[in-house]
Amino acid sequence: MDKNKWRTPTKESLKEAYGKRGQYPDQNNRRYIFNALGNEKTWKVTDKSHKVRLLPVHPDDNINFYGLTVHIHTNVGVNGDQFLCLKRMKNINCPICEHQVLLWDTEPEMAKDLYPQTRYLVWLVDLSQASDKQTAQIWSCPRTAMDDILGASYKKSTDEILNLANIDDGIAIYFDREKTPNTTFSKYKNFQLDDAPIVAKEIWLNNIVSFTEVIEYASYEEIKNTFFGLNEEIEPKKDVSPLGETPKNSETTQKEEVVNNKTDEMPITNSIDDMDRTQLEEFALIVLADDYEDSEIKEMGTKKLRRLAKEAPAKKVDKVEEETPEDPKEVLKRKLRERIQ
């Protein structure tokens, strides 16, 4: 091989590496899903025995559960940042989930690692603390811990489950958190209920705020840049509802824009075999809509998706074209409008 084809580091890249000697991921600059107020109110769980009293969510959140269910991409980028998953929280494009889809056929184990982590943001008061320090705090509760809480509060004999966050009749919970030997992880265990209810103090309830005031979403570009280690210019962040609500201004116009943008970006190929993964998904989301959920389509293997997409047009799209000759792009536009409405 011609030696001129070999590449070696440039002097500039070596100088840059030299200047970064001894620098490691900046733990102090790690990004979390909370804003400044949320970080201030977060409960820092330690490895010891705990006694906590769950509190209700703020009325403005209109959540019929102990807390807000969140889906979090963890350990993103060099600092191990955390981002709320845009796909699962807001049903919009998420760069990490998009990359996961691309990995399913070639690197399935790596794709599994990109699933967001599900947790519950729960308001509580730590009764292990001195009474003058007891205040409402947010617990980022793991799914396994929530399963144990629900299990401990269920009475099988009467098929009744206790509401531990009830203002007047809520019951405190005891549990332990212990470090798992030879690992960096801790485990929650020994969940038990107290013997008598504890009335929630007014000062506790007054410190509860809406989740819209304590969590924040990163933009698509921010997550992409961190995930891929890019340094692209980020446009100003648009207004985003922290609880995943879609703005209701000009709703009809927005739907039309979505349809037009989707179909304008979707190349119409002569063969489904010619479509790349992105084109195939966009096509399948329309022609397979009656048989599969969007999430099933996006997580489906490419080979299976291509086969189903080939079978579907014969039954759905081609039939429409025979009855009423129409441009294929217009067929897809109409189908997408029907799904949105």
Over the stretch 311-334, which tens digit does the pLDDT of each residue have?
775 544 444 344 444 454 455 555
Q: Which CATH code of 3.40.50.1820, 3.90.198.10, 3.60.15.10, 3.30.200.20 fits the domain covering 26-213?
A: 3.90.198.10
* Residue 243: per-residue pLDDT: 59
* Residue 241: per-residue pLDDT: 52
Name residue 50's beta-bridge partners: 175
pLDDT at 203 over 80: yes
Q: Where are the domains of the chain?
A: 26-213, 248-340
Name residue 178's beta-bridge partners: 187
Range 237-242 average pLDDT: 52
- At 126, give phi and psi (nearest 5°): -85, 105
pLDDT at 200 over 90: yes
* Residue 229: per-residue pLDDT: 87
pTM beyond cutoff 0.85 = no
What span, in angstroms and rounded, lies between the C-alpha atoms of 338 and 276?
A: 25
pLDDT at 269 over 50: no
Lowest mean pLDDT among 30-39, 72-81, 129-138, 289-298: 289-298
pLDDT at 206 over 70: yes
Q: How would you classify residue 182: left for phi > 0, otherwise alpha for psi between -120 and 50, otherwise beta?
A: left
HSE-up (13 A, CA, CB side) for residue 278: 10
pLDDT at 256 over 80: no
- At 119, the pLDDT band (50, 70, 90 cuts) reads very high
Going by their DSSP bridges, the two strands 186-197 and 49-54 should be labelled as unpaired
Identify which has the larger pLDDT, 335 or 307.
Answer: 307
Name residue 177's beta-bridge partners: 188
**Residue (of 54, 33, 41, 40) closest to 167 by Cα position:** 54
**Residue (of 154, 200, 152) closest to 54 by Cα position:** 200
Q: Are 68 and 214 in contact (CB under 8 A)?
A: no
Identify which has the larger pLDDT, 336 or 264.
Answer: 336
pLDDT at 237 over 90: no
**Residue (of 66, 69, 62, 57) closest to 209 by Cα position:** 57
pLDDT at 89 over 60: yes
HSE-up (13 A, CA, CB side) for residue 211: 25
* Residue 32: per-residue pLDDT: 92
* Residue 268: per-residue pLDDT: 38
- At 235, the pLDDT band (50, 70, 90 cuts) reads low
* Residue 273: per-residue pLDDT: 78
Q: Which helix (H) or strand (E) holds 54?
A: strand 49-54
* Residue 30: per-residue pLDDT: 83
Rg (CA), the chain: 25
**DSSP secondary structure letter of residue 57:** P
**Average per-residue pLDDT for the chain:** 80
Range 62-78 average pLDDT: 94
Q: Are 163 and 55 in contact (CB under 8 A)?
A: no
- At 28, the pLDDT band (50, 70, 90 cuts) reads low
> How many Cβ atoms from other residues are within 10 Å of residue 47's Cβ?
12
